[in-house]
């Protein structure tokens, strides 16, 4: 499970691929979607406000849905369930900081696992 982690990773694809290597079947991800420059500015502001005071690395590496799908395919994952309508913020903040900037994805390995069940 990754919750708002992969957009901070220096090499998110490598981290996800290593996770796929050790998981039996599923990976659960909550992260961000960035489809345009307004999304990027909003996410960058949110990241800076929420993480900068704690010394978190801020590469501002946000991905579009197409980029996430490419990474999932490269890591031998398929989307089982995808949710973007996540009520994280009350109105009127949802209109600014919600608006499909967040997703939760349940992913399944597309190749058989090397681990066997007892």
User: Alpha-carbon distance 37 to 117, whole Å?
Assistant: 46
- Assess if CATH 3.40.50.150 describes domain 2-109: yes
**Mean pLDDT along residues 5-14:** 95
104 bridge partner residues: 30, 83
pLDDT tens string 65-91 = 999 999 999 999 999 999 998 888 778
Domain map (residue ranges) of the chain = 2-109
pLDDT of residue 117: 47
User: Alpha-carbon distance 104 to 118, whole Å?
Assistant: 31
Q: Taking 60 as the threshold, does the pLDDT of residue 39 lie above it?
A: yes
Q: Taking 50 as the threshold, does the pLDDT of residue 116 lie above it?
A: no
Report the mean per-residue pLDDT for the chain. Answer: 90
What does the block give as tokens for 108? 């399944």
């Amino acid at each position: 499970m990754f919750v708002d982690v992969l957009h901070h990773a220096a090499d998110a694809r490598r981290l996800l691929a290593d996770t796929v290597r050790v998981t039996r079947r599923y990976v659960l991800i909550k992260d961000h979607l960035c489809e345009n420059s307004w999304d990027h500015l909003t996410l960058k502001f949110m990241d800076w406000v929420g993480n900068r005071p704690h010394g978190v690395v801020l590469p501002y590496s946000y991905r579009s849905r197409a980029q996430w799908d490419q990474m999932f395919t490269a890591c031998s994952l398929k989307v089982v369930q995808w949710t973007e309508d996540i009520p994280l913020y009350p109105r009127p903040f949802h209109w600014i900081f919600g608006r499909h900037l967040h997703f939760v994805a349940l992913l399944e390995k597309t190749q058989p696992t090397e681990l066997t069940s007892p």
